[in-house]
């Protein structure tokens, strides 16, 4: 079985970006800038934000951290987003989700300038994805597509089953797999909590994408021999971080698979860097 090493691939991408950013800096007199807004003290979010900041620094992107008290008023948060929209040093804006209760995250996401929406959550960018138009693509599914490309695993003409229909992973991933191109062009089925015969659907897949949030949900008997398995899940258990797939059992069945940790997670961050450089290029075009 080929291990789809997201961590290593992400490091390679970061190195490639560092070279690109160096030359952009000499050309334009400044480095790309990413503003990261973290509201409150959610421990998982703090870890994600720290990792994003480190990745930015190592690739040469300047990160502007805005760590705000969880009791912030909606208006104050909106004012900050508007200020960052108008700030020329800021090419990308990332609002770390989830927000504390009482804050309207959808309203905040819709306030972010679509040209700075490096997370690809603004309805304008989601709509562009739907239509196959250029725009910012949400980082986790786009990172997965980049990983498949780097390992030369084309999905064109293959049957892909995505388990999970969230707005940040399942739905955009299904859309990306349906676009044109060798690494897309798949025949896609989206499964979710109400799917009848889920095991049967998954078993028919050449590519399985698990984005459920239940540890070891995808078991050996559900996966076809030779299938490629991409595990998006990050579940904190007594045994540490585990994915949505039973990795050890699937090793005998899958032809290629992402580990957890070290698979999709680092690719999500790599894609954020790619998107930030894309935003910088568009602002300086």
Binding site for ligand NAD (CB under 6 A): 140, 163-166, 168-170, 191-193, 195, 198, 211-214, 232-235, 264-265, 268
Separation of alpha carbons 93 and 223, rounded Å:
39
* Minimum CB distance to ligand NAD smaller for 74 or for 167: 167
Determine whether 119 is an active site residue. Answer: yes
Least Å from the CB of residue 211 to ligand NAD: 4
Contact 217, 245 (CB under 8 A): yes
Separation of alpha carbons 185 and 197, rounded Å:
24
User: Is 166 known as a binding-site position?
Assistant: yes
**Active-site option among 91, 119, 206, 246:** 119
* Minimum CB distance to ligand NAD smaller for 31 or for 247: 247
Contact 241, 269 (CB under 8 A): no
* Minimum CB distance to ligand NAD smaller for 185 or for 219: 219
User: Is 132 known as a binding-site position?
Assistant: no
Least Å from the CB of residue 269 to ligand NAD: 8
Determine whether 128 is an active site residue. Answer: no
CB within 8 Å of 75: residues ≥ 6 apart: none
Give just the sign of the alpha carbon dihedral 226, 227, 228, 234. Answer: negative
Least Å from the CB of residue 221 to ligand NAD: 15
Query: Helix, strand or coil for residue 223?
Result: coil
**Tokens at 100, concatenated:** 């504390």
Least Å from the CB of residue 58 to ligand NAD: 18
Contact 138, 262 (CB under 8 A): no
* Minimum CB distance to ligand NAD smaller for 31 or for 119: 119
User: Is 120 known as a binding-site position?
Assistant: no
**Tokens at 182, concatenated:** 């060798």
In the bound complex, which residue of the shown chain has the CB atom lying closest to ligand NAD? Answer: 166
* Minimum CB distance to ligand NAD smaller for 24 or for 242: 242
Least Å from the CB of residue 105 to ligand NAD: 13
Give just the sign of the alpha carbon dihedral 162, 176, 46, 103. Answer: negative
* Phi and psi, residue 33, nearest 5°: -120, 135
**Tokens at 221, concatenated:** 């008997």
User: Is 165 known as a binding-site position?
Assistant: yes
Eight-state DSSP code of residue 115: G
Radius of gyration from C-alpha coordinates of the chain = 19
Q: Which residue has the tokens 């299904």?
A: 174
**Active-site option among 5, 91, 96, 278:** 96
Determine whether 52 is an active site residue. Answer: yes
Q: Which amino acids are annotated catalytic?
A: 52, 96, 119
Binding-site positions read: 164-166, 234
């Amino acid at each position: 079985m080929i291990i789809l090493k997201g961590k290593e691939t992400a490091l390679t991408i970061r190195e490639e970006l560092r070279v690109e950013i160096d030359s952009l800096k000499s050309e334009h007199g400044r480095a790309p800038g990413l503003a990261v807004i973290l509201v409150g003290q959610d421990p998982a979010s703090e870890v994600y934000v720290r990792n994003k900041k480190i990745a930015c620094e190592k690739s040469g992107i300047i990160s502007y951290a805005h760590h705000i008290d969880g009791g912030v008023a909606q208006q104050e948060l909106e004012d900050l987003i508007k200020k960052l929209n108008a700030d020329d040093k800021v090419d990308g804006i990332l609002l770390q989700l989830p927000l504390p209760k009482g804050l309207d995250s959808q309203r905040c996401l819709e306030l972010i300038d679509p040209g700075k929406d490096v997370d690809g959550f603004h309805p304008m960018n989601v709509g562009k994805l739907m239509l196959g138009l250029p725009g910012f693509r949400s980082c986790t599914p786009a990172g997965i597509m980049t990983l498949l490309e780097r390992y030369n695993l084309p999905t064109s003409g293959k049957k892909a089953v995505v388990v999970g229909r969230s707005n940040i992973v399942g739905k955009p991933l299904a859309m990306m797999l349906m676009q044109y191109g060798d690494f897309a062009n798949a025949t896609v089925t989206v499964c979710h909590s109400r799917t009848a015969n889920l095991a049967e659907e998954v078993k028919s897949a050449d590519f399985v994408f698990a984005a459920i949030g239940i540890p070891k949900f995808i078991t050996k008997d559900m996966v076809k021999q030779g299938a490629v398995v991409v595990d998006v899940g990050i579940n904190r258990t007594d045994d540490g971080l585990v994915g949505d797939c039973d990795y050890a059992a699937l090793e005998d069945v899958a032809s290629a698979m992402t580990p957890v940790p070290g698979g999709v997670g680092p690719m999500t961050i790599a894609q954020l860097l790619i998107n930030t450089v894309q935003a910088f290029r568009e602002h300086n075009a």
